A = this chain, B = another copy of it.
Amino acid sequence: MAESWSFLDTVEPNFRPLVVIELAKGTKEETIEWFTKRIVDKKANGGAQLLVKPLGTENGEENIYLVGASHLRLLLGAETVGLVKECNDNSMRTFTYSSRKTFKDFADDNHNFLTIAECQYIIKHELENLRAKDEKMIPGYPQAKLYPGKSIVRRLLTNGILVQIFPLHDREELKKLRHSWYGRVKVGYQPLDEIRCYFGETIALYFGFLEYFTFALIPMAVIGIPYYVFAWEDYDKYVMFATFNLLWSTVILEVWKRICAIMTYRWGTLLMKRQFEEPRPGFHGVLGINPITGKEEPVYSSIKRQIRIYLVSLPFVCLCLYFSLYVMMIYFDLEQWALDYHEENESTFSNLMLFVPSIIYAVVIEIMNRIYRYAAEFLTSWENHRLESSYQNHLILKVLVFNFLNCFASLFYIAFVLFDMKLLRQSLATLLITSQIINQFAESVFPYWLQKRHKKRMKKRMYAMKTDTDLSLVEQVNLEKEMGTYFGTFDDYLELFLQFGYVSLFSCVYPLAAVFAVLNNITEIYSDALKMCRVYKRPFAEPTANIGVWQLAFETMSVISVVTNCILIGMSPQVNALFPDSKMDLMLTVALVEHLLLAIKFIMAFVIPDKPRDIQIKLAKLEFESLEALKQQQMKLAAESLKE
């Protein structure tokens, strides 16, 4: 085995560990040898040409390996994954090794040209693209079958030989980031570029969206406060507030696209070419021929999947929705009971009792959401989607529908069946505030406490070993490998989505919702930052150009909120008083206004360009240049051919 690392020793004496590989305890020696050999082997031999080092063999940690790469290797990897970087002339271009001199801040000895997050992403990409050649199985594990082109790391993962791969924190950088992010008390923007350098684009974009959304809610909150304080309930003021809200929510969603384009252009991800998507790790099927690549890989009939989706998942989701509605009805019975109780014996206790059903319901909703989430994940995984993106979309759809009903069904029922605006306001406030508190607690405070406790214990154990040599790396790896895994931005976006629903669906009834949302989001920024930096394992950076399906989800919510607000205004006694004679006229007016608002919404979404003009020009310029290059090439060829 020493031979494999001799390559490393001669080439790069100052090895920088970037990624940690944890193998299962008791992995066979021959497997480890074969796997590490493949990692360090030359590209030409089908290896990844990375550097590998065991983490302190003397301490019985022989199942943990550190992976790094030479600077040159990383640059070539950056070209492979298609990173986009800024050039000397301030334009963004796809990095290629041959044109490296034209890039800003590039120097052969500048090891900060690629951010650590990028280096780790490159290593992850290279490891995942380490493919079987003619091996029929993983050496030492005959049950772990391989076929030419199968990703070795994925097979190791699915067979449990590989426990996990995760990037290491950089304690220096993390300290700096923590300081500028939430370390000092200050008013201002988050250091999004630094977050992006450390955690990658997906996470930076989430924090960017969270920040943007918070700022965007401030006008609604500011306008909402006097409505609450002075109890303005005049018709015209109400209508103005609701109209403002509806148009505002359209505007903020459109403007976000522009801001997102500006950010991702600066980060280079707007220009990154989509890589060809591999089957997701959990995908299984009989070996067949992929019609796209023409290569052998597991194939699963699309009809079977459709059957699973429409005959199992869909009925199950409907059943869950029904169950959720059933629970809602129980809640209303409880509510009625509490009201009766309060009327019978009026006391402070009975007054407090009035809030109990709402609180119980809010808690039950949270619990149901979490249970349903597991079921949805199981079902979507069982549907056996080939691509991670398709898996994610089906999961998001399932979870969104259920969460939407769960959170808003009772409010819809109160508003449009019971017509009880007072109860609606009260329920809205209770639901919003309870769910915010639960979320903040379950998401950050509790894991942080767990993590702290664990860290203390670890430290004690470490010191007990009394090894005074530089153990900090071993210590760090051991600490980090036990940390929880951050499963992506799904839950964070979902929380924002539901919050957006609370704020916009019934905004004209409870203008204070925006205020609570703003307050929550400010603490959310800090608690999420804490969570990222302290609680979870460092996640791999994921280049991304937009918030994807969430944009659509938010836009749909904004359309639904036009409908609900129009109905709410139509039902208000002030508006009803304006049409004393004819309910018909009232309804016609409301319907007309609703359709007008929807039309304005769609026209606005159509007219506001998704990208600012200067970004458009920069993109057009790049496209033009590539077309010109192609033309030049053809001209040359044409001139030669015509000469013959």
Q: Give A contacts to B, CB under 8 Å.
A: 42-44, 49, 72-73, 76, 79-80, 97-98, 273, 275-276, 291-294, 302, 563, 583-584, 587-588, 591, 595, 613, 617, 620-621, 623-624, 627-628, 631, 634-635, 637-639, 641-642
Contact = CB atoms under 8 A, between A and B. Distances in A.
Contact of A631 (B80, B563, B637): B80
B637 A97 contact: yes
A388 to B, nearest CB: 16
A417 to B, nearest CB: 12
Given A49-B642, A97-B637, A583-B584, A623 B43 contact: no
A95 to B, nearest CB: 11
Given A98-B637, A583-B584, 8 more contacts: A44-B639, A76-B634, A79-B637, A80-B631, A273-B627, A292-B624, A302-B613, A583-B583
A70 to B, nearest CB: 9
A444 B198 CA distance: 68
Contacts of A302: 613
A635 B584 contact: no
B43 A76 contact: no
3 closest A-B pairs by CB? A76-B638, A292-B620, A587-B587
Contact of A79 (B292, B563, B627, B634): B634
Contacts of A80: 631, 634, 638
A285 to B, nearest CB: 17
Contacts of A642: 42-43, 49, 72-73, 76
A267 to B, nearest CB: 22
Contacts of A634: 76, 79-80
A236 to B, nearest CB: 24
Contact of A291 (B97, B292, B584, B621): B621
Contacts of A293: 621, 624
A276, A583, A631: most-surrounded residue (chain B CB, <10 A): A276
Contacts of A627: 273, 275-276
Contacts of A620: 292
A563 B275 CA distance: 43
A499 to B, nearest CB: 23
22 contacts: A43-B638, A43-B639, A43-B642, A44-B639, A49-B642, A72-B641, A73-B642, A76-B634, A76-B642, A79-B634, A79-B638, A80-B634, A97-B637, A97-B641, A98-B637, A276-B627, A292-B620, A292-B621, A293-B621, A584-B584, A584-B587, A587-B591
Nearest to A588: B587
A277 to B, nearest CB: 10
Nearest to A556: B602
A118 B72 CA distance: 48
Nearest to A623: B276
Contacts of A638: 43, 76, 79-80, 97
Contacts of A621: 291-294
Nearest to A644: B72
A639 B47 CA distance: 11
A624 B149 CA distance: 15
A22 B594 CA distance: 57
A638 B76 CA distance: 6
Contacts of A635: 43
A621 to B, nearest CB: 5
A588 B570 CA distance: 12
A409 B275 CA distance: 51
A176 B595 CA distance: 53
A71 to B, nearest CB: 12
Nearest to A73: B642
A116 B517 CA distance: 65
A44 B636 CA distance: 9
A294 to B, nearest CB: 8
A609 to B, nearest CB: 12
A21 to B, nearest CB: 22
Contacts of A584: 583-584, 587
A368 to B, nearest CB: 25
A593 to B, nearest CB: 12
Contacts of A97: 637-638, 641
Contacts of A76: 634, 637-638, 641-642
Contacts of A613: 302
Contacts of A637: 76, 79, 97-98
A609 B641 CA distance: 43
Nearest to A416: B588
Contacts of A43: 635, 638-639, 642
A565 to B, nearest CB: 14
Nearest to A79: B634
A587 B584 CA distance: 8
A583 B581 CA distance: 13
A272 B586 CA distance: 54
B276 A617 contact: no
